[in-house]
Amino acid sequence: MTKTAPRPKVYLAGPEVFLRNAVEAGAAKAAICARHGLEGKFPLDAQIALDGLTLAERAYAIFHANEELIRGCDAVIANLTPFRGVGMDTGTAYEVGFMRGLGRPVFGYSNNTLSFFDRVVEHNPKPLKKRHGADPTMGYEDSNRMGVEQFGLAENLMIVSAVHDSGGTIVQVKTKRRERYTDFTAFEDCVKQVALRLCLARC
């Protein structure tokens, strides 16, 4: 009898954990993964005993549980959609770096098509000021007199480079603002690429 090979596991990083229907969102993303031969692991899948713990102890328990989930996965798909500001969710950024440190593929997607620089321009309360004589990659500064990186990338250079060097890609699409954390079109495109990458690696 032929033994069926286990499906590659993919950690689904992103701010969906903060949605009111977070469990349902995770299940929907996992179902998309399953359709493409992958096993999606959502952060809330971790079984954590939180009773009797202080708030800080709960935070540390969640941290360790998520790291353990990541260690058990073959790749990560990170939702890079801007969250509470111009950049991605900071917890997701850590998880991208953690998986990159493990030497495994990192893929990302965003439901926003603006570059990181353009989002800063849009978000800053005042027009950016030009830094005379500055390097072109840091030719402007914001209202706090802090330089703004200008590489034309989807996110901070460290995130995009981590994805690129791991062999992954970033998918960007424009969605309605109210659907920026619930539209999974870009996510599914990313899943297809991950499935192809992991299949080629195993076949």
pLDDT digits (tens, 9 = 90+) for 84-141: 999 999 999 999 999 999 999 999 999 999 999 999 999 998 999 999 877 889 999 9
Strand order in the sheet with 140-141: 129-130, 140-141, 147-148
Domain(s) labelled CATH 3.40.50.450 in the chain stretch across 9-113+156-202
* Phi, psi torsion values for 133, nearest 5 degrees: 80, 5
The structure's pTM equals 0.93
CATH architecture assignment, domain 9-113+156-202: 3-Layer(aba) Sandwich (3.40)
Summarised one tens digit per residue, pLDDT across range 131-186 is 987 788 999 999 899 999 999 999 999 999 999 999 999 999 999 999 999 999 99
